[in-house]
Amino acid sequence: MYLIQQQVRMEVAALCLLLLMNSLDSGQAEVSVTIAPKRSQFLKYENFVVSCVEDEHREEEEETRTGWRVMKRMEDGEVHECLSSCSVAAAFPATDSGLYWCETEWGTTSDAVNITVTGGSVILESPVLPVMEGDNVTLCCRNKDGYLMADFYKDGIPMVTSSTLNVTINSVSKSDEGLYRCDIYGYGSSPESRLTVKVSVLPTAPPGDQVSPAPMLPVSTLLRHLMVGTPYLLSTILLGLIYRDRKKVLQAKEASQPSDVIMEIAV
């Protein structure tokens, strides 16, 4: 009976650990910052909204997760909280430029994006979030009057002059990372925006020879399996050791008992 009670306790402990791991996983879902319109530079007095969206629903529902709040750090270092979203009307450089990210009450954070509100008349429209290696990226120079000639720069070095205010970088790579800006003659320069490129982890196989990669278990799933399986393994080993010790005790008792042999002494 004692062994059964011990095994039940170990199984209950394993179940509690499993529920704890599941709750931690559900509380740490990956969330990204989204900006509407989708750019990181804005002219003075423009409107924009910053919100938190779960990665798995971003393309399907664009739903904001409850429990997440938008945080923003202004250029002077002061941090403000916007609850589920930040709706900025008539943006102003000194109060709305800064770093924005998503955060939960238990400390989980998302990647941060830098938003610039300029008092000038030129901005550069570029991807807000990192782009994947091999994607095509279009940069757009914009001003209030719609002037159709712009010079583009990367890390301060001239790239190209465009008569359409657009330039496309085909099949971007890590070498394309850097700070980009554009100039419109007579209107000035835009602020700089950083382009970040993510490298694909899995190599691309030639057509016809594609091999599906072996599925990898997440760390949390592996930990759950270990936590659930370990008590069963330990209880099995414990039962085996007890059975072995009992067998030894029984053998020792049998060896110490007197033999049922009668000795007759002849007179």
Digit-coded pLDDT (tens) for 14-36: 544 544 444 444 444 477 888 99
Q: How far is CA 123 from CA 12, 37, 177, 205, 231, in A?
A: 60, 13, 19, 40, 61
Of 170, 167, 80, 67, the residue nearest 126 (C-alpha)? 167
Q: Which residue has the higher pLDDT, 142 or 210?
A: 142
Q: Which residue has the higher pLDDT, 109 or 114?
A: 114
State residue 5 phi and psi, 5-degree precision: -65, -40
Is the domain defined by 120-199 classed in CATH 3.40.1160.10? Answer: no
State pTM to two decimals: 0.60
- pLDDT for 168 equals 95
Q: Which residue has the higher pLDDT, 112 or 153?
A: 153
Q: Is the pLDDT of residue 117 over 50?
A: yes
Q: Is the pLDDT of residue 93 over 50?
A: yes
Q: How confident is the model at residue 257 (pLDDT cuts 50, 70, 90)?
A: low
Q: How confident is the model at residue 261 (pLDDT cuts 50, 70, 90)?
A: very low
**Alpha helical stretches, state H, 126-207:** none
Cβ(91)–Cβ(45) under 8 Å?
Answer: yes
Here the tokens at position 154 are 């990367």
Where do the domains of the chain lie?
A: 29-119, 120-199
**Residue 105: CB partners within 8 Å, gap ≥ 6?**
67
Cα separation, 93 vs 83, whole angstroms: 22
Q: Is the pLDDT of residue 133 over 80?
A: yes
The domain 29-119: what is its CATH number? 2.60.40.10
Of 195, 194, 192, the residue nearest 182 (C-alpha)? 192
Of 106, 172, 102, the residue nearest 137 (C-alpha)? 172
